[in-house]
Structure 1
Amino acid sequence: MSNQPGGESAAQLDLAGINDAAENEAARRAAASKEAADTVMQAFGGVRGMIDMTLPGLVFIVTYNITHEVAPAGWAALGLCALFVVTRLARRETVQHAFSGVFGVGLGVWISMKTGKAEDFYLPGLLWNVGYCLGFAVSALVRWPLIGVMLGPITGEMFTWRKESPGRLAAYTKATWAWVVIMGIKPLILFPLYFSHNVNLLGWLKVALGIPPMLLAMYVTWQILLKAPPPIKAQLDDEPAEEADRP
């Protein structure tokens, strides 16, 4: 077999080309996997956001078990939410999830103090969970899946997936239904405990079911997006002008 200049055979060059192509494909898949994971985590506040939404409920049930009174438990939970907001402001971080936590906890504290029933602290969260699932279901039915609405601005595709990428629309719809199913399990478990006035079991299960279902839904979303076509970046109105101004 004749050798190519440089001492490499055609077979060796072909093999090297195949290896390079395989490495490039592996790198592309790794980059796509990381981008999909980062996008999902960013949309839902990441680990910090989930902690901000979970810890106040834990503080409430712990304080209530110690004091057996609604008011101290409510103020302790609300104080923790306020601390989260102040800490994020001091670090110049986004306060979106912290503020939503303050609103939800504040409403729960107000209702529970009005009724004197500790289980009412969890009522706004339970109703929000039901509304959340209904909203996701309706969005999927009308072909505006909320997962796509939430992730589009983060990926830079905005809403191009609705008309220009049927594969992305199908993926976002599938992911949205996954959230409906996974997150819908929580109210099915917790509402019977609320109506039975089992405050302790309701409180501890509410905490236990705070992060795991969300992580599962995020994982399923990530897996769905890995198999979806790449996002089509949205063309901004000022981009052609910017291109024209360049030498």
Structure 2
Amino acid sequence: MTEKTLYPARDEPLTLLDRMGGVSGLVAGAVPTIAYVITNAVAGLDAAVVVAVCASIGLIVLRRVRRQSIQPAVSGLLGVGVAALIAFYTGSAEGYFLPGIWVSLVMAVVCAVSILVRRPLVGVVWNLLTSTGPRQSWRSDRITMRAFDVATVAFTAVFAARFLVQDWLYDAGSTGWLAFARIAMGYPLVGLALLVTYWAVRRARRRSSAAAEVEAPAST
């Protein structure tokens, strides 16, 4: 059996790592970028664009043959396609990294604004995923709000760091270092932010369970 087939058992829980395509999915996500940088150095921009797109398509075929989820590879192909088109039309190898740089800036701003308006993004997402109705009780609990503030600050820091470092490397024209920064500041940094999110969600669940226990006797 492969680490995650296209048809997992229905009672098999999907972890975050599973949804990202497993370990092989994380590793494969770096392949198009590495192929792009190496090909650009050897054969030029046009060849690099073609190789990056072909590498993404190859990953989709490989995961399909191995009966693994192709969702991460398809998402990767869309991202590579957009990045490759920008690089091709700008005539700049660094243009390949522009979409990721600007997405990082947008996400950093969104996370920061959500904290300022007292609707931390991590808490909003958690509420949408776990609530069966327009429940907003988590915002009335100071401890829960503080936990989600901290988690959202963690993501703000991750996205802001990505933007600042990669934008600086883009201005410097350092294609190789841009590729390194994109990979190194990808899943590793997100993983740290997710650890903070896990702590915040656990705290929110404890507070929610405690509130439910208090309300239960009153409703009987």
Give the equivalent residue in structure 2 for 1:213: 189
State the structure with bigger RCO (CA 8 A, min sep 6), 1 or 2.
Answer: 1
Give the equivalent residue in structure 2 for 1:130: 105
Task: For residues 63-117 of structure 1, give each alpha carbon's deviation from its aligned partner in whole angstroms, at most 9, with x where no partner exists.
Answer: 22232x112212222222223444555636361x433322221111111111221
Q: Are 1:162 and 1:169, in contact at CA under 8 Å, matched by a contact in 2? A: no
Q: Are 2:45 and 2:93, in contact at CA under 8 Å, matched by a contact in 1? A: yes
Q: Are 2:166 and 2:181, in contact at CA under 8 Å, matched by a contact in 1? A: yes
Q: Map 1:7-156; keep pairs closer than 5 Å.
A: 41=17, 47=23, 50-67=26-43, 69-87=44-62, 91=67, 93=69, 95=71, 97-152=72-127, 154=129, 156=130
Q: Are 2:151 and 2:200, in contact at CA under 8 Å, matched by a contact in 1? A: yes
Stretches of structure 2 that go unaligned for 5 or more consecutive residues are 1-13, 210-220
Give, in whole Å, the separation in 2 of the partners of 1:231 and 1:181: 26
Give, in whole Å, the separation in 2 of the partners of 1:200 and 1:98: 23
What TM-score comes out, normalization by structure 1 length? Answer: 0.64
Give the equivalent residue in structure 2 for 1:199: 175
Q: Are 2:60 and 2:70, in contact at CA under 8 Å, matched by a contact in 1? A: no
Q: 1:133 to 1:51 in 2, by over 3 A?
A: farther
Q: 1:111 to 1:136 in 2, by over 3 A?
A: same
Give the equivalent residue in structure 2 for 1:18: none
Give, in whole Å, the separation in 2 of the partners of 1:148 and 1:42: 23
How far the C-alpha of 1:43 sits from its partner, in A, is: 7.4
Task: For residues 117-139 of structure 1, give each alpha carbon's deviation from its aligned partner in whole angstroms, at most 9, with x where no partner exists.
Answer: 10111111111111111122222
Stretches of structure 1 that go unaligned for 5 or more consecutive residues are 1-37, 234-247
Q: Are 2:21 and 2:69, in contact at CA under 8 Å, matched by a contact in 1? A: no
What TM-score comes out, normalization by structure 2 length? Answer: 0.71
Give, in whole Å, the separation in 2 of the partners of 1:184 and 1:144: 19
Give the equivalent residue in structure 1 for 2:11: none
Coordinate RMSD, CA, aligned: 3.1
Question: Alignment length, in residue pairs?
Answer: 193
Give, in whole Å, the separation in 2 of the partners of 1:117 and 1:142: 39
Higher alpha-carbon deviation: 74-83 or 109-118: 74-83
Residue 163 of structure 1, aligned match among 130, 137, 144: 137
Q: Mark the structure with the bigger radius of gyration.
A: 1
Give the equivalent residue in structure 2 for 1:172: 148
| Structure 2 letter corresponding to 1:182 | V
Q: 1:150 to 1:48 in 2, by over 3 A?
A: farther
Q: 1:137 to 1:89 in 2, by over 3 A?
A: farther
Q: 1:76 to 1:207 in 2, by over 3 A?
A: same
| Structure 2 letter corresponding to 1:82 | I
Q: 1:205 to 1:92 in 2, by over 3 A?
A: closer
Q: 1:211 to 1:164 in 2, by over 3 A?
A: closer
Q: Are 1:40 and 1:218, in contact at CA under 8 Å, matched by a contact in 2? A: no
